[in-house]
Amino acid sequence: MAKALQVLRSIGLQTKDFFRLSFNLQRSSYGYRKLHMSSWIQSEHGSRIPSAHIDGKNKWLNLKWDGEQSKNYPYVWLRDNCRCRECYHEIASQKLFQFNDLDIDVEANDIHFTDDGTAVIHFSDGHKGKYPLSFLEGEKFPAFSDPLRQLNKELWGSELQGAIPTFQFSDVMTDDDVLLGWLTVLHTKGIAILQNAGTIPTEVKKIGDRVAYLRATYYGETFQVMSKNDPNSITYTDTAIDFHTDICAMYNQPGMQMLHCIKQSTEGGENQLVDTYKVVEDLKKEEPEVHSILSSTLFEFTDIGTDILNDFHFRSSKPAISYGFEGNINQVSIHFSRHHSMNVPPEQVYPVYSALKVLSRYLYHEENIVRHRLSPGEILCMDNRRLAHARTKYYIDPTIKGVQRQLAGGYMDWDELSSFYRVLLEKKKKNENSN
């Protein structure tokens, strides 16, 4: 390429002119234009130049980069996403014009590429649209460009016993690659353990601050799971806790839960963990009626009490298995001790209880359970919209004074976790490209 440019310069032509010259504009009988350009051309700035084809019939621009599938960019989308300074604030990543001023019937009349790797499009409204080629190439239009979509959920059962993905707390706090690894595992498996976090009860806040911030709830920004005199939840007793996801009484259940072991009891207090996404898949296949009941019955979850912030009375009506717009599971809401109300007529109550019974049987199926007894300094991190967790009863020695088991809890939401995953991934790619 450098040679080709040298030759051009020697005959007094700019790269820009060369690009213009290499177009071969054709107009076919039904009025669409074809712009052909040699696809091996590379701009001075290293952007690969695609072959371009303005398709007036379909009202889109077709670009094809060498060795890749061609992509179609509808005129209206291009005009709406112009990256020139007049139309777009680069730092704010926002458009500068009003939607009312967008002519959705706008046409693209002409395209050329400049040697700094910009596509310039002449529109029928008189505007000259400008687009860095890297922007057009990166836009997986019409497919979605979110890198998180490439992270598949990896369903698991008891084979994860003794093999829960583990990271060092200090590495997650200081090394971006390790943090990215932790976020990746949380997305794919929904579970991870951080080790050697010490026993200061505020360490979960440090993780929140490292990523974004913690998700506060009415139990506080962080909360101490330990036996209390006047518990507003069985959390604060020594009893066994049945399988559940935390805070089902909120429509927007906290996304990720961290439980940092400050002190472990001498006996009991083990956690049981189940990947409900796997259970849902099994139910779909083996017990479709149960799956249908659990994903359509509205359970009324409530949580009423007082904590450090104020009195509270939370309520949500939702199915045990909620699906999102794309057919993916949005969240699983299980709390047998709070499933006391269901919005169904009396004749449907028994079938709903039978469905819950089947769900419970699946949750306690040995093939599905992973057990882990936290040691001081470990932080259990789990997707609270996916994992069901339980705790066995623990024993309090009446002859010993003071707290005998303590876990420091904190939540984060998926929007923040996903956001930082994208940030770190972009940073990593930039670093790799500059090396």
Give the binding site for ligand OGA (CB under 6 A). Answer: 225, 235, 241, 246, 259, 271, 389, 391, 407
SS3 of 419, please? helix
Does 87 participate in binding Zn ion (rule CB under 5 A)? yes
Which CB, 136 or 258, lies closer to ligand OGA?
258
Partner interacting with residue 82 (select from ligand OGA, Zn ion, none; CB below 5-8 Å by kind): Zn ion
User: What is the C-alpha to C-alpha distance for residues 171 and 196, in angstroms, rounded to an integer?
Assistant: 10
Q: Which stretch in 22-30, 153-161, 239-247, 376-384 sits in contact with Zn ion by CB under 5 A?
A: 239-247
CB closer to ligand OGA out of 133 and 334: 334
Return the number of the residue (51 or 271) whose C-beta is nearest ligand OGA: 271
Q: Please, what is the minimum distance in Å from the beta carbon of residue 216 to ligand OGA?
A: 16
Interface with Zn ion, residue 246, by CB under 5 A: yes
Q: Which of ligand OGA, Zn ion, none is residue 55 near (CB under 5 to 8 Å by kind)?
A: none
How far apart (Å, rounded) are the C-alpha atoms in residues 63 and 112? 12
CB of 101 to ligand OGA, least distance (A): 52
Distance CA 162, CA 167 (A): 14
Both structure tokens of 306: 């007082």
Pick what 84 binds: Zn ion, ligand OGA, none; C-beta below 5 to 8 Å, kind-dependent.
Zn ion
- Please give the Cα distance from 389 to 276 (Å, whole number): 10
Our CB check for Zn ion shows the closer of 84 and 329 to be 84
Number of chain residues interacting with Zn ion (CB under 5 A): 5
Q: Phi/psi at 340 (nearest 5 deg)?
A: -75, -15
Residues 198-237 contacting Zn ion, CB under 5 A: none
For the CA atoms of 177, 197, 222, 300, the dihedral, rounded to the nearest 10 degrees, stands at: 70
DSSP string, 302-366: EEEEE-SS-EEEEEEEE-SEEE-TTSSEEEE--BGGGTTEESS-GGGHHHHHHHHHHHHHHHT-T
Q: Which is nearer to ligand OGA, 51 or 235 (CB)?
A: 235
Q: Which residue has the tokens 């259970």?
A: 279
State the binding partner of 225 from Zn ion, ligand OGA, none, CB within 5 to 8 A by kind: ligand OGA
If you write DSSP's letter for every residue of 254-276 in order, what string do you get? -SEEEEEEEE--SSB--EEEEEH
391 interacts with, out of ligand OGA, Zn ion, none, CB within 5 to 8 A per kind? ligand OGA
What is d(CA 297, CA 174) in angstroms, rounded to the nearest whole number? 45
The listed partner (ligand OGA, Zn ion, none) that binds 87, CB under 5 to 8 Å by sort, is Zn ion
Shortest gap between Cβ of 93 and ligand OGA (angstroms)?
39
> From the list 5, 35, 63, 82, which residue makes contact with Zn ion (rule: CB under 5 A)?
82
Q: Which is nearer to ligand OGA, 243 or 421 (CB)?
A: 243
In the bound state, the residue with its beta carbon closest to ligand OGA is: 235
- The tokens describing 291, both together, are 């799956």
Distant-in-sequence, close-in-space partners of 319: CB < 8 Å, separation ≥ 6? 294, 295, 296, 297, 298, 299, 333
Residues that bind Zn ion (CB under 5 A): 82, 84, 86-87, 246
